[in-house]
Amino acid sequence: MKKVYENAAAALDGVLFDGMLIAAGGFGLCGIPELLIDGIRQAGTKDLTFASNNAGVDDFGLGLLLQTKQVKKMISSYVGENDEFMRQYLSGELELEFNPQGTLAERMRAGGAGIPGFYTKTGVGTVIAEGKEHKEFNGETYIMEEGIFADLSIVKAWKGDAQGNLVYRKTARNFNPPAATCGKICIAEVEEIVPVGSLDPDCIHTPGIFVHRIIQGEHEKRIEQRTVREK
């Protein structure tokens, strides 16, 4: 099966539809699938729900889709640094489902493993627990969280091969691996596509069996908060 596509538009062709749930990898501005996000923006797909650690910033990442009003709901653990997100949420234009960061990662991992729900102590006694099933184990109270089963996963890796095997670099490894597994279709963008067999099998973070399409492209290296000292 051919997995390598020329660009984001080609890789997304026939996959997108209005109202879909998309799991997006990345942490802050590190390791976000910026080319695929821009491809979704250009496609004009709307009423989208995104499960993502963050919502990007105003002019980069998922912030671009907020500007074009293509996002209906965010399932996130951190939504700072984005004025447009704040404006839309406070005005009632955007739905928000807050998740503790570890819970969000585990919801993605659970979905990828075919697990519909799990219990965690995180969030017990807070607004996070409202409306969720509570259960006691060994005298401790837990709440049930549901696995995320996305229509599409979009991730960004450092290297990949034509079979879809992926290697992430440093912080990009946080949310990309669980996001990659929980979608019915996974599309990856990489900085470099390398020959099949050149990746050390012990260093592959996402096996190609999870990845359906892959593209190579040029990426920005943004710094979310730049701090400098006076000379």
Q: What is the DSSP string of 116-179?
A: -EEEESTTTTSGGGTTS-EEEETTEEEEEEEPP-EEEEEEEEEEEETT--EE--GGGGTTHHHH
CATH number at residue 18: 3.40.1080.10
Q: How many domains does the chain have?
A: 1
Q: What residue numbers bound the domain in which 68 lies?
A: 8-115+148-216
Q: What is the pLDDT of residue 224?
A: 67
Asked if the structure places residue 105 within a domain, the reply is yes
Contacts of 206 (CB under 8 A, 6+ apart): 155, 157, 164, 165, 166, 168, 176, 177, 180, 181, 188
Q: What pLDDT, in 10s, does the model give residues 191-220? A: 999 999 999 999 999 999 999 999 999 887
- Is residue 128 included in any domain, yes or no? no
Q: What is the pLDDT of residue 170?
A: 92
* Whether residue 226 has pLDDT greater than 80: no
Average pLDDT over residues 179-195: 98
Q: pLDDT tens digits for 126-152?
A: 999 999 999 999 999 999 999 999 999
Residue 134 in any domain: the answer is no
In a domain, 221, yes or no: no
Q: What tokens were used for 80? A: 């700072």
Asked whether residue 22 is domain-assigned, the answer is yes
CB 65 within 8 A of CB 74: no
Residue pLDDT, tens place only, 75-129: 999 877 788 988 999 999 999 999 999 999 999 999 999 999 999 999 999 999 9
pLDDT digits (tens, 9 = 90+) for 29-67: 889 999 999 999 999 999 999 999 988 888 888 999 999
In the predicted structure, residue 159 carries a pLDDT above the cut 70: yes
25-34, 171-180, 218-227: range with lowest mean pLDDT:
218-227
